[in-house]
Structure 1
Amino acid sequence: MTELDFFQLLKQEVLLAYQKQYPYFKGNWKSFSSQDIQNLIELVEEKTRQSISEKWIYTHLKAEINSKLPRKDMLDILSQFSGFSGWDEFVFTNKEITVGKKESQSKKRKKYFIGVGLLVVLIVTIVFLAYPEKKPIQKLQLKNEFTNETIQAKEVKAYTIEDNKKVEIPIRNSEIEVAVKDENTKIVIQSPYYKKQEVKVNKASDKTEILLQPDDYAMMLKAFMKSDIKDWETRKIQLNKILSDNLEVIVMLKNDLGAEYFNKNEFSEKLVIPTESVKRMQILEIKNDNEGKIEFIRIKQ
C-alpha cells in the first residue's frame, strides 16, 4: 500500500472517532456538514490540544481523491485524534494488520458474524426489557414570539440532550414530536434567525407551543437578501449599522466544490444589488459580537 492509501484509511479512522462522540452521524466525508466540521474542529482541539482549520478539512478530508499527501504534522494530529501516538505508529500498525488480514480473513469473518448475531440478540433483549412501554409523545409547534406565526422548518434545528449528547429531532409542518421520559426532557432550539432556547417538558406538561424570540439584526439581514429594494445607497447604510467591521462570511458552494470567503466590504457590495443568486442564498449560521453586530455568517448557495 502507498502512503496515500494509508491516508485514506486514516480519514476513515477520523470518521469513526467522530462517530464515537456523535453516534447519530452515519454518513461519510461527502455528507459531512458544516456543523459536523465545527464539531470536529472542537473535538480535535480538545483531545490533541492542537488546531485544524476549516479550509484544511475541505481541502484534504472532504476531497474524494487526494493527489498529494498532507504535511506530516497534520497527519500526526489526525493520528493522535484517532488513538495513535502519531502518523508513524498508524502506518506501522496498519501494515501489520494488512499482512495478518490475508492469513486469517476467513476465521475472522466467521467470528464477526457470530459476534454480531449475539450482539443483536443482546441489544434486542435489553431494549425489550428496558423499554416495555411506549413513551408518550409530546407535540410542540414552533412560533415567532412577536408575530405568533409558525416558523419554517428550514430556518430552525431542534435537539434533545441525552447523556450530554445532541440528538436531532425532525421538524414537520413547523412542529416537533418528542418522546417524553419520566424525568424532564430537555429540548434545544437553534436558528440563525432566532435566539437559542432550551425547554424542559415532561408527561404532565400541557405545553403545546415553543415561542422563539427573533434576532433583530439577523431578520434585517434576511430581509435585505430576499427583498427587491432598489435604493442601494440606503441599503448600504443600513448594512453598515448591523455588520461588524471584522465581519467574516463563508459561502458554501454547490456540488461540494468548497467555499468562498468575504469581508464586510466585499459582502456588502454583493448584497446592495438584489440579484437572484443573492435571493437564493440560505443563512446557516450567524454570530454576533459584544455590541450585537453580526461578526460571522455561514451561507449555503
Structure 2
Amino acid sequence: MLILFLKTFSLFGYLNKTKVEQLSNLFRKNNCNTFVKQFYKLILLIINKLIIFNGLTDLDLLHFEQLKKEVQAQYLKEYTPSHDDISKWKGIDIIYFQEDLRKKAKGNISEKSFYTYFKNSPVTKLPRIDMLNLLSIYAGYDSWYEFKKQHLFAGELLQQDEEINEEEIQELENFTYSSPELQKEDHNAEKAVRKQPENPDLQKSSSENQTLNSKATITSSSSPTVVSQEKNFFRKNAWIMVTAVLVTISGVLGFKDELFSKNYTFCFTDADRGVNVINTLEIKVIKENESPMLYKIKPGECFEYSTKDKILKMQISAPFYETLDVNRNLETAPDKEMIELKPDDYKMAVNYFSVKDANGNPELLKQKRKQLENLISDHAIIYQVYDNATYGIETLDKQKYITLVTTPTTSLKNLSVIEMKKDKGKIVSIKFKIASTNENKQ
C-alpha cells in the first residue's frame, strides 16, 4: 500500500520513478530501518514540491512584494513614468520598463505577466523562478535566493535540506516552474507585444500613447488564465494531501513492526518414533538484553512466531524430552520447519512405570516397583500438585511416590507428569498431577 502511494505521486511527476523502484526493493528485502529512512526522505521531497507548486509559502509572497518595490525604485532612478506606483503603470510605461529590463537583466517578461503580478497587489501566487531571478538581477541582486537571503524576516531561516541533493533540487525547480501552459501563455503574450507597430515619436506624447493602448491593455488583462484540471485539483487539495502524507508517516513509524514482520511456523516431532510429541512444550524465545518470552504449546500443535529480526534463539523443553537450544538465521530459514525432539529414556521409563496398570498382579507390581527403585534417586524431590486452594502442593519422598503409583487404583489413569529432572543417570525431581474425574473428561 505504501509503495502504491508513492507510485501514484511518481505518475504526477512528484517523484523519480527510479527512486520509487529502489524503495520497493528495500521493502521486498525486509530492510526495515533503511526503508523507513528513505521513505521519510521521499515524503519530505513530496511536501516540498506540494508547497512550492501551490505557491503557499506566505513568506515568499511577502518577499515578492518587497522585490516589486525595489524593482519600482530601480526604474524610478532613471525614468519618469506616468505614476510612481508600479501597479498603476499603463501601456507605454510597461513598454519602456520591458526595454530597460532587457538592457540591464538580459531578459524579458510578457505584458500578461506584468498585469498578473504587478497590477494585482498583493499577489496570491509566485511567478516562475526564471522571472523571479530576472527581476532580482534587475534590482541589483545575483538571484532570487540572494534577494531573499538579504531580506530575511524576524525568525526566518532559508531551509536547505541536507538530505535532498542538488539533482533533486534541480528536478524540483524544473517541475515547479516549467509548466507548459504558463510558458505558452507568456510566449503568446510576448508575440502580441512584438507585433505592436513601433512609433518613433513615443516619447513626444506619452499621454496619447497611453490612451491609444488602453483598449489593448484592458483586453490583455481580462483574458482568462488557462489552468489545467490537474493543477486545479492539486491546488485545492494540497493540504489534504500533505495531511495524508503525515498520517502515512505516523502509520509507518507506529506499525513498522507489523509491516515488516514475517511469520514462521515450527512443528515438533519425536525423533525416535516419528510421531507428535506427547507433552506440552515450553518455548523460551531469547533476545539480547531482554528477558526471555515464554510460550506454551499443547501436544500436536505448532509454534507460530512473527518477527522482523534476522536471528531467532529458542530453548525448547518438555517433561519427557531433552532440552533443545535452537539458533536460526531467519534470512535463509524456511517459513515452516519441523524440529525433532530427542526423548529422554529415563523420563519416559519413569512415566511408563508410574502410570502402567499392573491389574493387581503381584509379579507385575513387584517388577514395577523394582524398575522405579532403579530409575529414581534416593534423594529425589517429588511434588504432587493439587488444583484446590487447600493443599496447593505436597512433597513426597521416593518411597511414598513408589507406593502411590504401585497401589492399584483407577486414579493412576489420570496421572500426568508436569516436570521431570535427571542428574547422573537418576531422576532427581518429579512434579506430577492427578486430575479429577471431571477435569479428565473435559
Shorter chain as denominator, the TM-score bin is: 0.5 to 0.7
Change (3 A) 1:266 1:132: closer
Q: Which amino acid aligns with 2:413?
A: K
Gaps of 5+ in 1: 1-123
**Correspondence list, 1:79-118, <5 A:** none
1:139 counterpart residue number: 265
How many residues align? The count is: 176
- Asked if the contact 2:382/2:431 (under 8 Å) is kept, the reply is yes
1:197 counterpart residue number: 324
Q: Tell me, what secondary structure is at the counterpart of 1:205?
A: coil
**Correspondence list, 1:246-285, <5 A:** 246-257=379-390, 258-285=392-419
Change (3 A) 1:245 1:140: same
TM-score norm. by structure 2 comes to: 0.37
1:223 counterpart residue number: 352
2:282 counterpart residue number: 157
2:167 counterpart residue number: none
**Correspondence list, 1:50-69, <5 A:** none
Are 1:233 and 2:366 an aligned pair?
Answer: yes
CA shift for structure 1 position 253: 1.3
CA shift for structure 1 position 223: 1.2
C-alpha distance in structure 1 between counterparts of 2:407 and 2:341, whole Å: 31
Q: CA RMSD in A?
A: 2.3
Q: Give 1 or 2: higher strand fraction.
A: 1
Gaps of 5+ in 2: 1-249, 435-442
Q: Which amino acid aligns with 1:205?
A: A
Q: Which amino acid aligns with 2:271?
A: E
Identity of aligned residues (%): 23
Q: Give 1 or 2: higher helix fraction.
A: 2
Change (3 A) 1:126 1:265: farther
Which of the two has higher C-alpha Rg?
A: 2
TM-score norm. by structure 1 comes to: 0.53
- Asked if the contact 1:225/1:279 (under 8 Å) is kept, the reply is no
Change (3 A) 1:278 1:256: farther
Q: Over residues 212-234 of structure 1, what are the superposed CA-to-partner deviations in whole Å (9 max), with x where a residue is unaligned?
A: 11111111122123322341000
Q: Over residues 39-91 of structure 1, what are the superposed CA-to-partner deviations in whole Å (9 max), with x where a residue is unaligned?
A: xxxxxxxxxxxxxxxxxxxxxxxxxxxxxxxxxxxxxxxxxxxxxxxxxxxxx
Change (3 A) 1:203 1:170: farther
- Asked if the contact 2:355/2:413 (under 8 Å) is kept, the reply is yes
C-alpha distance in structure 2 between counterparts of 1:218 and 1:253, whole Å: 22
CA shift for structure 1 position 148: 1.1
C-alpha distance in structure 2 between counterparts of 1:213 and 1:249, whole Å: 24
- Asked if the contact 1:225/1:274 (under 8 Å) is kept, the reply is no
1:176 counterpart residue number: 303
- Asked if the contact 1:169/1:177 (under 8 Å) is kept, the reply is no
CA shift for structure 1 position 274: 4.6
CA shift for structure 1 position 150: 0.9
User: Which segments of structure 1 move beyond 4 Å, counting only runs of 4 or more?
Assistant: 124-127
CA shift for structure 1 position 266: 0.8
Q: Which amino acid aligns with 2:333?
A: S
Change (3 A) 1:184 1:248: same
CA shift for structure 1 position 132: 5.7
Are 1:295 and 2:419 an aligned pair?
Answer: no
Q: Over residues 219-272 of structure 1, what are the superposed CA-to-partner deviations in whole Å (9 max), with x where a residue is unaligned?
A: 112212332234100001111110001111111112233211111111111111
Larger RCO of the pair (alpha carbons < 8 Å, separation 6+): 1
